[in-house]
């Protein structure tokens, strides 16, 4: 472990130039005292590292010293697929491997290219989860990821909307969608998708299973996403909405809301416009449309209009009775 840390320290100084002991300690997740000991060990091994005193001081390498001792370990190489989503790498237990791999890659790049890579990282950041939603707890993610990697079957206890089930799965791949982890697995000869946060218990089983030779995770996920999207919407609602609600539709209903705005009819004398909005089942649609308040009116279909009217009447009666 110390050898890995010494190499990381050396690569930090090589890639970033002068760094203070607290900065190095933060990067390496060790104490400042440990940094001083490691710098001393580097110097004793022949690396020309010097300490500059004063407010702008720190440790640096002398004379443009560079090392090519940058070979990636197997785990570090595997972590590079998650280089654009470091938070996901950390959830999978690969955060340290990814940090080490990035340092080694930067060290292997020509000086100008490495500097450009660092500038890009300083100026662009990918934050996958949506706004206003806490990250889901996924206590079994590391175990599931290990089973995917090692091709080990899992016995799981899973919570779904119909109730709880117990199944034996062959885990084939993990997908991070909008900040939510999904497991694509073979179960009872079918390929199915499971939300990892809904696993109540996970037990790895001995031995290895054989992955289907023609399995393509990206293709399976694309097909699954399209199927789920098609199942989600069960009809369309014709609405009359105020200018304020029209602006709100993309934020509340995503791509469906954006399409509704793009295809909206001309505004009337009051500034209200008619839109066609895809809706889910009747109960879900009622809840969604009630959230628009009095600034939206359901025109069709008749059963949805009646259901929203009934819910609004019941809501008004409840507040009147309580007040």
Which of the four pLDDT bands, split at 50, 70 and 90, describes residue 240? very high
Q: Which helix (H) or strand (E) holds 78?
A: helix 74-79
Residue 135 CA to its chain's centroid (Å): 9
Distances (CA, A) of 97 to 28, 73, 268: 12, 9, 59
Fold type of domain 2-61: Arc Repressor Mutant, subunit A (1.10.10)
Q: What is the pLDDT of residue 137?
A: 80
Q: What is the pLDDT of residue 104?
A: 56
Q: What is the pLDDT of residue 71?
A: 55
Give the list of residues 6+ apart from residue 65 with CB closer than 8 angstroms, or none: 14, 47, 48
Q: What is the pLDDT of residue 80?
A: 43
Does a cis peptide bond (omega within 30 degrees of 0) precede residue 301?
yes
Q: What would the mean pLDDT of 209-226 be, rounded to a whole number?
A: 88
Which of the four pLDDT bands, split at 50, 70 and 90, describes residue 123? low
Q: What is the pLDDT of residue 83?
A: 46
Reported as a single tens digit per residue, the pLDDT across 292-309 is 999 999 999 999 999 999
For domain 140-229, the CATH architecture is Roll (2.30)
Tokens of 49: 């590292």
Greatest mean pLDDT among 56-65, 117-126, 145-154, 219-228 lies in: 145-154
Query: Does the pLDDT at position 218 exceed 50?
Result: yes
% of the chain beyond a pLDDT of 90: 39
Q: What is the pLDDT of residue 297?
A: 95
301 SS3 class:
coil
Find the angle CA(248)-CA(253)-CA(258) to the nearest 5 degrees: 70
Query: Does the pLDDT at position 322 exceed 70?
Result: no
Do 2-61 and 140-229 show the same overall fold? Answer: no
Cα–Cα distance for residue pair 191/185, rounded to 1 Å: 6
Higher-confidence residue: 177 or 76? Answer: 177
Cα–Cα distance for residue pair 108/321, rounded to 1 Å: 73
Tokens 């890659």, residue located: 105
Higher-confidence residue: 295 or 88? Answer: 295
Q: What is the pLDDT of residue 12?
A: 83
Query: Does the pLDDT at position 323 exceed 60?
Result: no
Query: Does the pLDDT at position 86 exceed 70?
Result: no
Tokens of 304: 């949805």
Domain spans, the chain: 2-61, 74-123, 140-229, 233-321
Q: What is the pTM of this model?
A: 0.52
Query: Does the pLDDT at position 97 exceed 60?
Result: no
DSSP string, 198-258: GEEEEEE-SS--PPPTT--HHHHHHHHHHHHHHHH--EEEEEEE-HHHHHHHHHHHHHHHH
Higher-confidence residue: 195 or 104? Answer: 195
Q: Mean pLDDT score of the chain, rounded to an integer?
A: 81
Cα–Cα distance for residue pair 49/43, rounded to 1 Å: 6
The answer to whether residues 60 and 52 touch, using CB atoms and an 8 Å cutoff, is: yes
Q: What is the pLDDT of residue 49?
A: 86
Which of the four pLDDT bands, split at 50, 70 and 90, describes residue 175? confident
Q: Which helix (H) or strand (E) holds 139?
A: none
Q: What is the pLDDT of residue 79?
A: 44
Q: What is the pLDDT of residue 129?
A: 60
The answer to whether residues 8 and 15 touch, using CB atoms and an 8 Å cutoff, is: no
Ranking 67-76, 140-149, 211-220 by mean pLDDT, the lowest is 67-76
Tokens of 296: 């939206």
Cα–Cα distance for residue pair 257/268, rounded to 1 Å: 20
Query: Does the pLDDT at position 289 exceed 90?
Result: yes
Which of the four pLDDT bands, split at 50, 70 and 90, describes residue 18? confident
Tokens of 183: 């497991």
The answer to whether residues 44 and 35 touch, using CB atoms and an 8 Å cutoff, is: no
How many alpha carbons fall within 13 Å on the CB side of residue 253? 28
Which of the four pLDDT bands, split at 50, 70 and 90, describes residue 222? confident
Long-range contacts of 99-102 (CB under 8 A, 24+ apart): 99/8, 99/27, 100/4, 100/8, 100/73, 100/76, 101/72, 101/76, 101/77
């Amino acid at each position: 472990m110390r050898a890995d840390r010494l190499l990381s320290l050396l690569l930090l100084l090589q890639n970033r130039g002068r760094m203070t002991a607290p900065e190095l300690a933060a990067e390496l997740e060790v104490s400042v005292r440990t940094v001083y000991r490691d710098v001393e060990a580097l110097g004793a091994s022949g690396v020309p590292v010097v300490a500059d005193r004063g407010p702008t001081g720190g440790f640096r390498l002398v004379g443009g010293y560079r090392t090519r001792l940058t070979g990636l370990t197997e785990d570090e190489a595997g972590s590079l697929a998650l280089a654009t989503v470091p938070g996901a790498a950390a959830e999978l237990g690969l955060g340290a491997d990814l940090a080490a791999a990035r340092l080694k890659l930067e060290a292997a790049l020509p000086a100008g290219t490495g500097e450009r890579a660092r500038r890009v990282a300083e100026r662009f950041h990918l934050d996958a989860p949506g706004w206003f939603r806490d990250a889901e707890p996924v206590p079994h993610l590391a175990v599931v990821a290990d089973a995917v990697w090692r091709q080990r079957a899992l016995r799981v206890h899973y919570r779904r909307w119909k109730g709880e089930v117990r199944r034996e799965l062959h885990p084939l791949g993990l997908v991070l969608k909008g900040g939510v982890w999904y497991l694509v697995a073979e179960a009872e000869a079918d390929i199915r998708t499971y939300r990892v946060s809904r696993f109540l218990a996970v037990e790895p089983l001995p031995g290895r299973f054989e992955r289907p030779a023609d399995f393509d995770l990206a293709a399976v996920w694309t097909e699954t996403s399209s199927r789920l999207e098609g199942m989600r919407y069960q009809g369309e609602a014709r609405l009359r909405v105020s200018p304020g609600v029209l602006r709100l539709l993309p934020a509340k209903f995503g791509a469906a809301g954006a399409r509704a705005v793009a295809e909206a009819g001309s505004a009337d004398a009051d500034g209200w416009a008619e839109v066609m909005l895809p809706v889910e089942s009747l109960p879900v649609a009622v809840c969604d449309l009630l959230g628009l308040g009095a600034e939206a009116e359901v025109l069709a279909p008749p059963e949805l209009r009646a259901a929203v009217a009934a819910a609004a009447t019941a809501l008004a009666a409840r507040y009147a009775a309580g007040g």
